[in-house]
Structure 1
Amino acid sequence: MRVPVVQHSSRRRRARRRRALWTGGEVLVTTGVVLLLLVAHQLWWTNREARQGAERKVAALEREWAAGGAAGGSGSGGGSDGAVPSRTAVPPAGAARGGSAGTSSPSSPKGRDGGPRRAQTYAVLVVPRLRLRAPVAEGVSKPDVLDKGYVGHYPGTQQPGQTGNFALAGHRNTHGEPFRYLDRLRPKDMVEVETAHATYTYAVDQLLAQTSARDAGVVRPVPRSLVRPGRGYSEPAAYLTLTTCTPEYTSRYRLVVWGKLRSVRERG
């Protein structure tokens, strides 16, 4: 009977193939775990951290106001504003990706409440339909405002209650995602803006489901889309504009909600 002869070189080749397959499998598993951790951080941890921070900021503002303190004092956001949008683009507020929100522009004019310092919280946005209470800060810088779970006020637009356009931006996904369900708003829904001196109630009037990221017309004093000229307004009034990214988990387009001032209630 012939005994099969196994060459040592054949054994070594098989051993190398097994090691290569094992190493490749380990690399794939490790890569998958790392990606899962990154997704968990982006979709869960940033939301948890930003929401808790935003809730603390709202509570701090309310304590200040109850004690008669000035808005933008010890309970405000603090710090200087970073990059803010140019007047030719609506920033990627709802994007899950990083990056600056645009180029610099003048800071907001002072409103009836005296106006906030840059990148500080000075109001609370309340949307009953969405069960949302979010702090409003000056500017739309991602690191200084939006990534903290705040809603950002577009520099150069008006303040609450003023004739013109009080325009706000917020994340739709990650970092607290305050505008996650902005598309659920419907005409006549109420939106309130609370400040140290008054509560401004706006009624939702129009929704623009999708427009270009560079449609600057939506945040003008009399808002009207430059991409869809039939959407928007033609007469001065006290407007509220809410913007975020669409579709979800992208920053390609913008979702816009417009409202009109319904009433002003002074704080007692």
Structure 2
Amino acid sequence: MTQETATAAPEDSAAPERRRRRGAAFWVGLALVLGGLGMLGYVAWQFYGTNIVSRQHQERVVGELQEQWRVAEAGTIDARPERLKLGDASALIRIPAFGDDYVVPVLEGIGDAELASGYGHFPDSADPGRRGNYALAAHRVTHGEPLRDMPELRPGDEVVVETRDAVYTYELDTDPNDLIVTFEEIWVVDRLPRNPDGGTEPPSQEPGQRLITLTTCAELFHTDNRMIAFGHLVDTERK
């Protein structure tokens, strides 16, 4: 064996190893790129795609509910909230401060499916216009964002709730920015909410009141805390 051949042998034997390393690096890099694209796609879907799908679904539910009310005859279709099952639409919400075209359905229950379709009605809370606390929850981001602008609401703003039989107008008593609670503080949906810390609560606390409570995420990108607004019934218009 010549000296030239002996010198070249180690370099030749190292070449396959270098190719294997370059190949491994390529696939690792590709996996990272694909993973990053997948994450971006997921985020885009959550913040844009779910809004498009949910708003289309909400419009469909609103139309179906209005048509049901139009064609229902006494005793033929009972659309009263106490007769409905979880997931059924029971009312329509209008908030004039959010614009004339703001109409969002209310569904019985507060599960993922209900909140992806509009407002969710806490099952153990009062029905619209009834004594007690009509408690609602809705997304602030994703899935249609019904309460995206809740921080802009102020005392005196109206929340109009339409059912098959009546239109109930509630007036907010509190500024949503004044009460932030953890998701564990369920006192806010009690029949007569009383703040254990002595802070913000409905200004008049008397049995027999007809209240409304709106709940949503306190922060846009954090879901542990809830923003709360309380109100009371000021008008009932029978259909």
Residue in 1 aligned with 2:195? 225
Distance change >3 Å, CA 128–CA 70, structure 1 → 2: farther
Q: Deviations over 1:197-236 (max 9, x none)?
A: 110001111134411211121111112233x322113323
Residue in 2 aligned with 1:196? 164
Number of equivalent positions:
226
Choose which of 230, 241, 245 in structure 1 pairs with 2:213: 241
Tell me whether 1:117 sits opposite 2:87 in the alignment. no
> Alignment partner of 1:251: what SS?
strand
Residue in 2 aligned with 1:178? 146
Tell me whether 1:162 sits opposite 2:127 in the alignment. no
Query: Comparing both chains, which one has the higher relative contact order based on Cα–Cα distances under 8 Å and sequence gaps of 6 or more?
Result: 1
Residue in 2 aligned with 1:46? 50
> Alignment partner of 2:173: what SS?
strand
Tell me whether 1:56 sits opposite 2:60 in the alignment. yes
Structure 2 distance, partners of 1:28, 1:180, is 34
Q: Deviations over 1:9-67 (max 9, x none)?
A: 23233322322221221111111121122222222222211111111111111122233
Q: CA offset at residue 139 of structure 1?
A: 1.4
Q: Deviations over 1:150-182 (max 9, x none)?
A: 211111211111221110111222222212222
Structure 2 distance, partners of 1:241, 1:36, is 35
Q: Deviations over 1:106-165 (max 9, x none)?
A: xxxxxxx5634122111101112123311111111223x112x22111112111112211
Q: Deviations over 1:67-124 (max 9, x none)?
A: 34579959x8xxxxxxxxxxxxxxxxxxxxxxxxxxxxxxxxxxxx563412211110
Q: Taking structure 1 as the reference length, what is the TM-score of the superposition? A: 0.76
Structure 2 distance, partners of 1:199, 1:71, is 20
> Alignment partner of 2:16: what SS?
helix
Identity %: 34
Structure 2 unpaired stretches of 5+? none
Structure 1 distance, partners of 2:136, 2:96, is 17
Distance change >3 Å, CA 159–CA 70, structure 1 → 2: farther
Distance change >3 Å, CA 161–CA 130, structure 1 → 2: same
Structure 2 distance, partners of 1:160, 1:71, is 20
RMSD between aligned residues: 2.5
Structure 2 distance, partners of 1:181, 1:27, is 39
Residue in 2 aligned with 1:257? 229
Larger radius of gyration: 2
Q: Taking structure 2 as the reference length, what is the TM-score of the superposition? A: 0.85
Tell me whether 1:9 sits opposite 2:9 in the alignment. no
Residue in 2 aligned with 1:130? 98
